[in-house]
Chains A and B, each alone.
Chain A
């Protein structure tokens, strides 16, 4: 079945970077965009950006421009989201999601905690 499996929880210090992975299975990875969405505890969903695994094209929310980088390795059907310059308010669950008409398949989420 179609699924996205994400890497495990991370604890980082302020100013550090984090890289979260998202491995796809059950479909042709290069056929659909991958998006990243985050959610702070008790808060709403916040869209971060997308990438096209076929050609590497990307787009980022203005809020994260310059701090976020989305990449992929098609040979292992895996997308990555790297966020730099971490602050305490980056503490959140980070989700990857496949974009087929809309965000139809989501990963389980990766908890990223930023704490000194």
Chain B
């Protein structure tokens, strides 16, 4: 199976900061990466698909980049509603996998 490694595991930031979360794949997955936001007790919410395409209804402060094995989620001007856990996911192969998650906390 393709492994995804996210970094950092936890990130402390303030409202207005720009934050970056990395996701590294164990082998090339082209652009078949999605990013999700999850809040406690809720289902994940799709933010980005195909590495850089913004899902409808998601604020433009969220952006994704990368291809091959290195991917990045960037949140510009962090808002109070953005404090949550973020997951990358690969769907390059028939067996999909998620990263272990990055928790974005209030500094």
Enumerate chain A interface residues (CB-CB to B < 8 A): 35, 37, 44-47, 50, 59, 61-62, 95, 97, 99, 101-104, 106-109
Which residues of B, 90-104, contact A by the 8 Å Cβ criterion? 91, 94-101
* Cβ–Cβ contact B43 & A109, under 8 A: yes
Q: A102 near B44 (CB under 8 angstroms)? A: no
Of B43, B46, B53, B96, the residue contacting A47 (CB under 8 A) is: B96
| B72 in contact (CB, < 8 A) | no
Q: Can you list, as one digit per residue, whether each of B1-39 has a CB less than 8 Å from chain A (1) or not (0)?
A: 100000000000000000000000000000000101010
A-B contact count (CB 8 A): 57
Q: Which residues of chain B have C-beta atoms less than 8 A from A37's C-beta? A: 44, 98
B44 touches A106 (CB 8 A): yes
The 8 Å CB contact of A45, one of B1, B55, B91, B98, is B98
Complexed CA–CA distance, A106 and B49 (Å): 15
- Given contacts A102-B49, A104-B55, A95 and B43 within 8 Å (CB-CB): yes
B89 CB-CB contact with A under 8 Å:
yes
Smallest Cβ distance from B15 to chain A, in angstroms? 26
- Distance to closest chain A CB from B82 (angstroms): 19
Closest-by-CB residue of B relative to A4 is B43
Kindly state whether residue B87 has any CB partner on chain A within 8 Å. yes
